[in-house]
Amino acid sequence: MPPAGDPARRGPALRLYLAASRVIPLVAPAVLRRRLARGKEDPQRWQEKLGRPTMPRPDGPLVWLHAVGLGEVLALRGLIAAVARQRDGLSFLITSTARSSAGVVAANLPPRTSHQFLPLDAPRYLAPFLDHWRPDLAIWSEQDLWPGAVAAAQARGIPLAYVNVRITAESARRRAFAAAVYRDTLSCFALIAAQEEGTAARLRSLGAGEVRVTGSLKSAAPPLAADPDSLDRLRALLAGRRPWVAASTHPGDEEAAIAAAVALRDDPADLLILVPRDPGRADAIAARLGKAGLQSARRSAGEVPASDTRVWLADTYGELGLWYRLADRALIGGGFDAIGGHNPWEAACLDTAILHGPDVANFAADYAALHAAGAAREVRSDGLATALEAEDLPALAARARALVEGARGALDPLAVDLLALMDPPG
């Protein structure tokens, strides 16, 4: 049998994909430059996607972790902490593909951790990336899986793991058209860990062998960062107010939040901090607030709440760590718009009580765990104001925080098994 990492282990579908990927450099630079002109690439770092690193490799063993975007990258921080607890002297490299991940990731990087953009999936770009970083272990996460990068790492004898995997039934159906490539790619991994049993079954149907179920990494992630000086200044500014957050909102979430703010506006302490998922929608949201008769201030304009301000429109990016520290209650967005919900654990680990709308399909297992522990509450759009005044919200927040602490401890066995992949047999 060929040794691990030998290209002879690759199935015919993966070999065909790798051959086809060699044409990517014919069009990639022009495509990236057009994206750069439209503001979709980082002007300082876009060439990282062409395999040109922008920082030096640290000395010693290096663990490379990849996730597609901001939420997925932030979820890796708990795993990094668990791995670092098990072995001293490790450095970590996180790669991602979405431009939006870079700025927030930079403010939330764990110790001894760097961030780069993943090169495009072609040998011409992957080879210099791997030559430079020389990872001792590669960990892929969630749904972002690039066959060329996986195969290139395997060919160099770099052990591979695929963790925190979540694949919906619809995602599995989309992958079925390239099932052979997916099967060959999954065969490169020495360890595969899914968030829940449904994903594990779908991975097996796509060709994975042994799949373990370890839960979501998001529940074990450390708190989002916040600038201490800004936090102290805003706590002083808001003394006597009782802020609550509507986080990562879409139009339906905003409709519910605005209705609640209208219902509570006779209370001079009440202040809604409204954090849209897309800050580019801020003008439309501000107009909606004006029509509702709510006095508002805009974070992007440097405005701060006055005594008569009822809504602070936080139309900036990457400050949820600040808002969750200022508030004791949060409506987690995505629950009223057929979005599938957003991450509740960022609020949970900062002692903020979790309220949400009915649609949490993308975080079904997470919310099931929270509800089983009495640590979150589903609300109707017309019941949000009443829910925000419930006396047991501190108890909900405390139970959610306990789940976070338990999840962090539960990562240690996975960290041990990941590190074992780096150690030669015998």
d(CA 266, CA 355): 22
Q: Which two tokens stand for residue 288?
A: 């909606």
Is 170 a residue of the active site?
A: no
d(CA 309, CA 296): 5
Angle subtended at Cα 187 by Cα 181 and Cα 190, rounded to the nearest 5 degrees = 145
Work out the number of other CB atoms within 10 angstroms of the CB of residue 142. 24
Q: Which two tokens stand for residue 387?
A: 């829910």
Residue/partner pairs of 155-159 with CB below 8 Å, 24 or more apart: 155/5, 155/6, 155/7, 156/5, 156/130, 157/4, 157/5, 158/5, 158/64, 158/130, 159/190, 159/421, 159/422
Work out the number of other CB atoms within 10 angstroms of the CB of residue 111. 9
Q: For the CA atoms of 392, 397, 403, 404, what is the dihedral angle to 10 degrees? A: 180
Give burial (CB, 10 Å; 0-12/13-18/19+) of 145.
Answer: buried
Q: Which two tokens stand for residue 115?
A: 């961030």
d(CA 254, CA 267): 20
Question: Catalytic one among 72, 142, 319, 346?
Answer: 72
Contact assessment for residue 305 and residue 297, using Cβ atoms and an 8 Å cutoff? yes
Handedness of CA 132, 138, 140, 144 (dihedral sign): positive
First to last CA, the chain: 20
Q: Which residues are catalytic?
A: 72
